[in-house]
Amino acid sequence: MTTISVEHVSKSFGKVAAVDDLSFETPPGAITAFLGPNGAGKTTTLRMILGLVTPDSGSVTVGGRPYRDLDRPLRQVGAVLEATAFHPGLSAEAHLRAVAIAAGLDVARVGQVLDLVDLREAARRKVRGFSLGMRQRLALATALLGEPGLLILDEPANGLDPTGIRWLRGFLRAYAVDGNSVLVSSHVLAEVEQIADHVMILAAGRLRWSGPLTAGSSLEELYLEVAG
Ligand SMILES: Nc1ncnc2c1ncn2[C@@H]1O[C@H](COP(=O)(O)OP(=O)(O)O)[C@@H](O)[C@H]1O
Ligand SMILES: [Mg+2]
């Protein structure tokens, strides 16, 4: 079980306090959503979890260790941040093979992840011609190569059509039911309401509310109250 633990983390960019004394732990085997308006500090937090941004203070660990100290990071954490870049001249399959080989992962996994994200039919096509939704699926497939127990997704529904969003919801649910953990960020309330078990509401770099989503309770009222 890979739990993310964030303890009293702050990060400023110049005068902007992007993240301000943030603490939380993600529940394992659940889909946790990080909800908040644009600029709330969601992406910065995810980047700190992945060791891409260094906090000014506080500590961030994944499964008890800083991300950069993980022995086999791709096997423990799969991540999709905003606007993943792919070589436009590679096919989806060639991209996945290259990543698998570079990371020392079994190349046989490529076919499996293409099936998982429903991209098998486009596997031989060059990424140059992919829609945003197809790129999102390919980024997700890349994150799944190492069969990680934890998935971190930054605004994964961006660029997906309603069918794609429904598909993503089903995919994440099945993934969590298998005992894996998911941390997903979003600024879209309705999306979070449909996808998450547990919600953290972030505004201006601070955690305003955190708790399980229960049927019948209005996330919208809560959100407007704490982050509106
Ligand atoms: N690399 C950076 N340089 C300067 N400011 C940044 C940088 N990254 C984020 N910020 C600022 O930090 C705040 C939080 O941004 P971000 O974490 O991207 O929020 P969110 O993902 O919730 O929209 C914003 O005010 C943003 O402009
Ligand atoms: Mg963001």
**Domains, the chain, with CATH or none:** 4-227 (3.40.50.300)
The residue whose CA is least distant from atom 17 of ligand 1 is 41
pLDDT confidence of residue 80: 93
pLDDT confidence of residue 20: 97
pLDDT confidence of residue 1: 60
Q: How far is the CA of 101 from the centre of ligand 1 (A)?
A: 33
With contact defined as beta carbons under 8 Å apart, do 93 and 119 qualify?
no
For the residues of 36-49, what is the DSSP string, one character each? --TTSSHHHHHHHH
Q: How far is the CA of 45 from the centre of ligand 1 (A)?
A: 10
Phi, psi at residue 62, to the nearest 5°?
-125, 120
The residue whose CA is least distant from atom 26 of ligand 1 is 39
Residue 146's closest CA among 52, 77, 92, 86?
77
Task: Give the integer Cα–Cα distance in Å for 74 and 147.
Answer: 8
Taking 70 as the pLDDT cut, the residues of the chain under it are 1, 83
Which residues lie near ion ligand 2 (Cβ < 5 Å)? 42-43
Instruction: Pick the atom of ligand 1 nearest to 154's CA.
Output: 21
With contact defined as beta carbons under 8 Å apart, do 220 and 189 qualify?
yes
Give me the residue label for tokens 């399959």: 93
pLDDT confidence of residue 108: 94
pLDDT confidence of residue 69: 94
Instruction: Pick the atom of ligand 1 nearest to 40's CA.
Output: 22
pLDDT confidence of residue 193: 87
